[in-house]
Amino acid sequence: MWFNSFGFWLFFALVVLVYSRLRLAGQNRWLLAASYFFYGCFDWRFLSLIFFCTALNFHAGLKIAAAEEERQRKFWVGWSIVISLFVLGVFKYLGFFTHELSALLQSFGWLETPWVLHLMLPAGISFFTFHALSYTIDVYRRDTPVSRSFVEFALFISFFPQLVAGPINRSTLLLPQMGKARPPCDEKRFREGLYAVITGLFLKVVVADNMAWLAGHIFSADPQNLGGLEVLLGVYAFAFQIYGDFAGYSAIACGTACWLGFDLMVNFKRPYFAISPQDFWQRWHISLSTWLRDYLYIPLGGNRGGSFLTYRNLMLTMLLGGLWHGAAWTFVVWGGIHGLWLAVHRAIGGTAKRSSKTASGWVIFLKWLVTFHLVCLTWLVFRAETFSQAWALFLRLGTDWHWTAFAQTSLSLIGFFILPWLLFEAWLERRKDDLSLLHVSWYWRAALYVYLVLMMLFFPPPVPAEFIYFRF
């Protein structure tokens, strides 16, 4: 059930209709049932998996809270982490590592027939696993009180707006909202939710899906048949496809949750206006980057053990962050490149705040230009099916820069679909306020909404594409 489908909005209308007529306990039970139905629409067989993850971590939280000795507390938090990651590993990575092991054994002549193991990937397993882990770790750290209501905790794990593609909301933010009366959808909440939903749908339907076929053409073609300009435009197309797709989903999730009285974590803050790698990760998939920082980077030692250990911690965090995205070496290398980039940037003394406060306008522009294109080059590795394809496409960037009909079409479509949105984001960036549009005269807001809706109606994609992050 996709957010950009009529089926979802019929489902959501029914949820709101019943929800508005219930009290808190009834609202929670109704939302939990609706969330399980929503997840079951992807594959009902995996409802048992999300229920198991929920029961496991709910039980672990109670045990951690009841334990009197530190040894017992460590046992129960370790128990929940190991089992949760084991389940994640079986469904997401077992087939990948089995394939790699069989290939290694074949190379030594120890295996004649490769092992083949295909497991269906449950939608959103990485997201709800990280939701659950953050809770048990927070209970162990005493950052959040233990939940004694299974319904409230189950709703925290399975809340349908953020269930299959985030944001990864912390127990400290979202879980307390499950146990108290939510504010009604007044004028302020309706305006904020409408803004998030309309902009999110535009990012998905107009930006992401119209860029998907451009990117797909480049990454499915023989690199030897492509010119450097075509490859570059294809990489641009994928950069805005993945941004529009994921930022659009996150915005719709925040908007629908806002209408229901919940506040979710903001997941994107104009990442393609970043001027350094650190700045980029403070703007892109913020819920994951802060999760990795708080539950992996800092426990590893953060920047407290000297330069070498800091760089090691950065690399390990980003390598595992890359692996979180999928069972492929290209994702690991993508994370490794970002880790190396962060380490180099740190080594030369660069920080996002210093860069923005002390540099001149031309220097900031140059840093933005370099950062944007380095991010796009890492997207090339992320999108490629294999290293050989990524390397072949990278080499084509340095050759055969001639104007072709496809390059002309690609540039025209990128300008038509993306440039107006970038101008709007540049205005938001200048004002440093994500909700600036809500503070201007209503007719300016209405004009933008009319433009966004008309674009969705008259310029739909040739072929709708699923949300990319459903795969993760």
DSSP string, 306-346: -HHHHHHHHHHHHHHHHHHH-SSHHHHHHHHHHHHHHHHHH
Beta-carbon-side half-sphere exposure of residue 99 (alpha carbons within 13 Å): 12
- DSSP letters spanning 232-291: HHHHHHHHHHHHHHHHHHHHHHHHHHHHTT--PPP--S-GGG-SSHHHHHTTSSHHHHHH
| Torsion sign across C-alpha atoms 227, 230, 236, 239 | negative
Residue 416, CB-side half-sphere exposure with 13 Å CA sphere: 11
Phi, psi (deg, nearest 5) at residue 159:
-50, 115
Q: How far apart are CA 453 and CA 201, in angstroms?
A: 9
CA dihedral 135, 140, 141, 146 (to 10 degrees): 60
Angle at 218 between CA 97 and CA 338, to 5 degrees: 50
Tens-place pLDDT, residues 433-455? 889 999 988 889 999 999 999 99
Q: Which residue in 131, 325, 338, 345 is the catalytic one?
A: 325
* Long-range Cβ contact pairs of 77-81 (< 8 A, separation 24 or more): 77/136, 77/137, 77/139, 77/140, 80/56, 80/132, 80/133, 80/136, 81/133, 81/136, 81/137
Nearest to 435 by CA among 205, 255, 256: 255
Cβ proximity of 154 and 36 under 8 Å = no
Locate 178 and state its tokens. Answer: 């499950």
Q: Compute the distance between CA of residue 185 and CA of residue 335 in angstroms, rounded to an integer.
A: 40
pLDDT at 99 (0 to 100) = 74
Q: How far apart are CA 161 and CA 263, in angstroms?
A: 11
Burial grade of 299 (CB within 10 A; 0-12, 13-18, 19 or more): exposed
Per-residue pLDDT tens over the stretch 265-297: 999 999 999 999 999 999 999 999 999 999 999
Tokens 């690399």 found at: 315
Q: Catalytic annotation on 345?
A: no
Question: Closest Cα partner for 233 from 358, 403, 73?
Answer: 403
Q: For residue 120, what are its two tokens?
A: 């269906």
Q: Please identify which residue in the block is written with the tokens 């009319």.
A: 450
Handedness of CA 409, 411, 413, 416 (dihedral sign): negative
Q: Which stretches of the chain drop beneath a pLDDT of 70?
A: 112, 114-117, 350-359, 464, 469-472
**pLDDT per residue as tens digits for the range 176-212:** 999 999 999 999 999 999 999 999 999 999 999 999 9
Rg (CA), the chain: 23
Q: Which residue has the tokens 């982490």?
A: 81
| Residue 113 main-chain phi, psi, to 5 deg | -105, 125
Cα-Cα-Cα-Cα torsion 416, 334, 199, 274, nearest 10 degrees, comes to -80
Helix (H), strand (E) counts: the chain: 20, 0
CA 357 to chain centre: 29
Rounded (5°) CA angle 49-50-55: 100
Which residue type is seen at 252? Answer: I
Q: Which of 379, 174, 167 shows the shortest CA–CA distance to 291?
A: 167
What is the pTM assigned to this prediction?
0.92
CA–CA separation, 167 and 258 (whole Å): 14
Contact 319, 279 (CB under 8 A): no
